[in-house]
Amino acid sequence: MPDSSPTLPPSLWAATAEPAPDCPPLAGSEEAEVAVVGGGFTGLSAALHLAEAGTSVRLLEAAEPGWGASGRNGGQVNPGWKILPSAIRERYGADRGERVIRMAGSTCDLVFDLIERHGIACDAIRPGLVFGANGRRALGVIDDWVRDWSAAGADVERLDRQGSADLLGTETYDAVFLDRRGGNIQPLSYARGLARAAQAAGAHLHGASPAIAVEKQGAGWRVRSRAGEVRARWVLLCTNGYSDALWPGLAQAVVPVMSLVAATKPLSGNLREGILPARNAVTEAKRVIVYYRLDAADRFVIGGRGRLGLADEGSDLAHLERVAVRYFPQLEGAEWEFNWGGLVAMTRRKTPLMMRLAPGVLAGLGFNGRGVAMGTMMGKQLAAAVRGEEVDMPLQALERWPLHAFRQLGVTGRIILGGWLDRLEAGWRGTRS
Ligand SMILES: Cc1cc2nc3c(=O)[nH]c(=O)nc-3n(C[C@H](O)[C@H](O)[C@H](O)COP(=O)(O)OP(=O)(O)OC[C@H]3O[C@@H](n4cnc5c(N)ncnc54)[C@H](O)[C@@H]3O)c2cc1C
């Protein structure tokens, strides 16, 4: 662990966010009922829900709230999980499955309710999230989503080629899945707003405070940082794709994958004309996706895993910009102002993990690129578990990804192969670079 704390990397969100709350480093010896490690949506939401319930909580963040994926993502409030409700039912059984589906289906409500209740200024809008599809496989995926989520009572719809072109202003897709639960936020402002709300409720948040050891002490735990320690009955590890060696095996539960984002300067006139008229958040039902939206100042923001995974940032950024112009030819003349990247945490079975690592030590992570809403919900679930309340999220033992050291290669290989298969199935239409 380096002596100095990492600073927030430059990005569109860092340049336009609400000011950061004051989070002094941990100093000296403190006590709390709960020590939270990691200040992204998961840790911040856990701290907020605990503090609101009257439980004393101290959060340790290595850098500053929102420094990780939470302050760098696409800001798309994405409903549900990566796997279908019917697959959730198969995985967890009928009763538990229903509870998980209800919980997964309510994650966006949780985000927008918190924003409203705490007056969080983060450019929140809720025009719906759209999944675009080309080719037989992707169309089958969106049909399954419409069937499963309609049956679960969600406000979702399939739009055909013309309907999707009218909605999005691009003729890229054969059909789309419109999920009206979703929307957009400025993610770093949302993280900072959660942090302020947690502080207002009584939580102590410490920035520049990496947890460097978690040690058993009596009936509880001692979490050590560089200049202080917290003694707590409970420890919540919320470090997601940035998990280090703090808890043996935790980093092996997920495979971190770099996702890159690029944003234009604010668009106006001919450049802005016709692009995402309803301001939807858009992602795709392919194997290798891009996701895009407008920000509050009409910048076009596009992200994706590119073609090469972690391999070649320059080429992946150029790829994103080419895709943007292919989908919206009017972007040909746009100037690109920002680019940045962050780590998404993938899990072996494509579901988030809530794990009991030892008595009093829980971890919640692995959102497979859909953690704005589900990370917020995970924090709430972790808080409920600590308080002995009913929890919807299945609580399991530590699940390591077998042959973890080779998974990074495997994921990169899958991205390359997946991109080829997507293009093949779409008849080389709509996805060529
Ligand atoms: C580029 C990108 C685009 C994405 N787009 C979307 C999107 O549009 N919609 C969506 O739903 N999801 C998206 N995601 C995923 C989403 O951002 C994450 O799932 C979510 O932010 C995870 O939140 P978290 O709190 O669990 O983890 P993080 O936000 O990653 O926070 C983990 C924190 O733990 C801290 N930490 C690690 N180790 C220690 C330690 N030892 N001591 C103290 N602190 C520590 C880190 O500093 C970090 O701040 C995207 C992710 C990326 C990277």
For 293, 313, 342, the CA distances from 262, given in Å and listed in that order, are 11, 11, 12
User: Which residue's alpha carbon is at the smallest distance from atom 50 of ligand 1?
Assistant: 73
Quote the pLDDT of residue 288.
Answer: 81
pLDDT at residue 366 in the model: 97
Looking from the CA of residue 372, the nearest atom of ligand 1 is 11
Atom of ligand 1 nearest to the CA of 378: 26
Q: How far is the CA of 347 from the centre of ligand 1 (A)?
A: 14
Q: How large is the average pLDDT for residues 33-42?
A: 98
Give pLDDT tens digits for 308-359. Answer: 444 456 777 898 999 999 999 999 989 999 999 999 999 999 999 999 999 9
Ligand 1 atom 18: residue of nearest CA:
371
* Atom 31 of ligand 1: nearest residue by CA position: 40
Minimum-distance ligand 1 atom for the alpha carbon of 241? 30
- pLDDT for 403 equals 73
- Of 267-276, 287-296, 410-419, the range with the lowest mean pLDDT is 410-419
* pLDDT given for residue 422 in this prediction: 72
pLDDT for 101: 97
Q: What percent of the chain has pLDDT over 70?
A: 95
Q: Closest ligand 1 atom to the C-alpha of 74?
A: 8
Lowest mean pLDDT among 243-247, 256-260, 298-302, 416-420: 416-420
Every domain of the chain and the residues it spans: 1-124+181-254+349-401
Query: Which of 26, 61, 292 to mutate to test ligand 1, by most ligand atoms within 8 A of the CB atom?
Result: 61
Res 313: pLDDT: 65
Task: Please report, rounded to a whole number, the percentage of residues in the chain having pLDDT higher than 90.
Answer: 85
Positive/negative CA dihedral, 340, 67, 343, 284? negative
Class of the CATH-defined domain 1-124+181-254+349-401:
alpha beta
pLDDT at 421: 74
Model confidence at 6, in pLDDT bands (50, 70, 90)? Answer: confident
CA of 60 to the centre of ligand 1 (A): 15
Question: Residue 238 in contact with residue 46, Cβ under 8 Å?
Answer: yes
Predicted pLDDT at 427: 64
- For the CA of 6, the nearest atom of ligand 1: 47
Which atom number of ligand 1 is nearest to the Cα of residue 212? Answer: 41
Pocket perturbation via mutation, ligand 1, pick of 23, 130, 242 by most ligand atoms within 8 A of CB: 242
Query: Does the pLDDT of residue 230 top 50, yes or no?
Result: yes
Residue nearest to atom 41 of ligand 1 (CA): 211
Residue 311's pLDDT is what? Answer: 45
Among the residue ranges 78-92, 178-192, 375-389, the one predicted with the least confidence is 78-92
In the reported structure, the alpha carbon of residue 68 is separated from the centroid of ligand 1 by a whole-number distance in angstroms of 4
CA distance 334 to 325: 9
Atom number in ligand 1 closest to CA 63:
47
Average pLDDT, the chain: 93
User: Tens of pLDDT along 211-222?
Assistant: 999 999 999 999
Eight-state DSSP code of residue 185: -
Q: Are 237 and 83 in contact (CB under 8 A)?
A: no
- Asked if the model's pLDDT at residue 239 lies above 60, the reply is yes
- From 344, 378, 380, 381, the mutation candidate for ligand 1 (largest count of ligand atoms within 8 A of CB) is 344
Q: Which residues line ligand 1 (CB under 6 A)?
A: 37-43, 60-63, 67-70, 72-76, 78, 210-211, 238-242, 244, 246, 259, 261, 291, 303, 341-344, 365, 367, 369-373, 375
DSSP string, 217-265: ETTEEEEE-SSEEEEEEEEEE--GGG--TTSTTTGGGSEEEEEEEEEES
Close Cβ partners of 409 (under 8 Å, ≥ 6 residues apart): none
Res 432 pLDDT > 50: no
* Cα 186 to ligand 1 centroid, rounded to whole Å: 14
Q: Is residue 306 over pLDDT 60? A: no
pLDDT, residue 146, reads 96
In this prediction, residues 151-170 reach a mean pLDDT of 97
Q: Please state, in angstroms and rounded to a whole number, the distance separating the CA atoms of residues 200 and 47.
A: 11
Residue 49 CA to residue 197 CA, distance in Å, equals: 10
Confidence of residue 265 (pLDDT cuts 50, 70, 90): very high
Mean predicted confidence (pLDDT) in 139-167? 96
| CB-CB contact of 174 with 104 (8 Å) | no
93-102 tens-digit pLDDT: 999 999 999 9
Average pLDDT for 147-174: 97
Residue 342, strand partner residues: 259
Does 425 score more than 90 pLDDT?
no
* pLDDT score of 430: 43
Please name the residue whose Cα sits nearest to atom 47 of ligand 1: 62
| Per-residue confidence (pLDDT) for residue 424, from 0 to 100 | 72
Residue-wise pLDDT for 113-148, tens only, equals 999 999 999 999 999 999 999 999 999 999 999 999
